[in-house]
Amino acid sequence: MPELPELEVVKEVLQRRVVDQTIEGVQAIGGGSAILVRALTQQRLAEAVTGARIEEIDRRGKFLIFDLKPAVQDSRLYLALNFKLTGRLQLAQPKEKKLPKTHLIFSLSGGDQLRYVDQRTMGQLYLAADLSQVPDYATLGPEPFDVSLEEFRERLKPYRGEIKGILTRSEFIAGIGNAYADEMLWAARLHPYRKRTDLKSEEIDRLYEAMQSVLREAIDHVRVEMGEAIHREPRDFMAVHMKSGALCPRCGTAISVVSANQRITNFCRTCQPGGLIKGM
């Protein structure tokens, strides 16, 4: 699932490659697009965006936002893309072979195509005149880089559950998912299932620092490894996530894995002691 670092780099690439271009047409392939596209306006996707100019691309949490200027009306229109588990965007030439499960193709005035690919068709593309109408958008918490240590401590207080679960709640802080939560907890040397109420003040400070450094370093890695291939999700650089059985880069212990609630959690038992181990 793309999280803040991947989407930040996708945003950068699209800002360079598609901003100021006009959408000349939209092609829906197969039935998938009917599931993906949710129009919160009176118009259907193709009629609304054909001829529209892409004015800006933004990221908010795990949403990528296309800010459009429609051809006819003098209003704003947004495409808000929530990638969920397997959604990806791809920049391609029209003659390039389509990846399997390509559901939508936007043809751009510069000659490129922007394609939406989703193996499990779980993503959602909202067409909206007002972003506050987009489900789960208005309730997003602040962006990690906008949160001070003091605010981080304050925002944690109402939550009493396991720290990993809290980190991945978009209303706590936006943009962090399963993968980067594992990485932050490893960097902070905190067991993912420790209760927030058990964390000492210096452990919370460590987690805050880890959140900042893990995300910033990940953006740098992803920028280099992804390049313009925005449909890829390079994650080889990660320390523990999806590294079950590999050796902890810090202490050499084999990385543990726990599957619970359809989520994989990876951590190092030596560096991240304690916690109630679920599912084992």
Residues with active-site annotation: 2-3, 62, 263
**Nearest approach, Cβ of residue 240 and Zn ion (Å):** 8
Q: How far apart are CA 58 and CA 109, in angstroms?
A: 20
Q: How far apart are CA 276 and CA 280, in angstroms?
A: 10
Q: How far apart are CA 271 and CA 253, in angstroms?
A: 9
The answer for residues whose C-beta is within 8 angstroms of residue 232's C-beta and 6 or more apart is 225, 226
Q: Is 185 in the site for Zn ion (CB under 5 A)?
A: no
Q: Cα 194 from chain centroid?
A: 24
**Range 22-61, binding Zn ion (CB under 5 A):** none
Q: How many CB atoms lie within 10 A of CB 46?
A: 16
Closest to Zn ion by CB, 184 vs 271, is 271
**Nearest approach, Cβ of residue 187 and Zn ion (Å):** 11
Using CB under 5 A, count the residues that bind Zn ion: 7
The answer for residues whose C-beta is within 8 angstroms of residue 48's C-beta and 6 or more apart is 39, 41, 70, 77, 127
Contact string 244-273 vs Zn ion (x = CB under 5 A): ----x-xx-x--------------x-xx--
**Nearest approach, Cβ of residue 242 and Zn ion (Å):** 16
**Nearest approach, Cβ of residue 252 and Zn ion (Å):** 7
Closest to Zn ion by CB, 88 vs 194, is 194
Closest to Zn ion by CB, 101 vs 250, is 250
Closest to Zn ion by CB, 149 vs 251, is 251
Angle between helices 201-226 and 178-187 (to 10 degrees): 120
Angle between helices 201-226 and 149-156 (to 10 degrees): 110
Contact string 209-248 vs Zn ion (x = CB under 5 A): ---------------------------------------x
User: Site residues (CB under 5 A) for Zn ion?
Assistant: 248, 250-251, 253, 268, 270-271
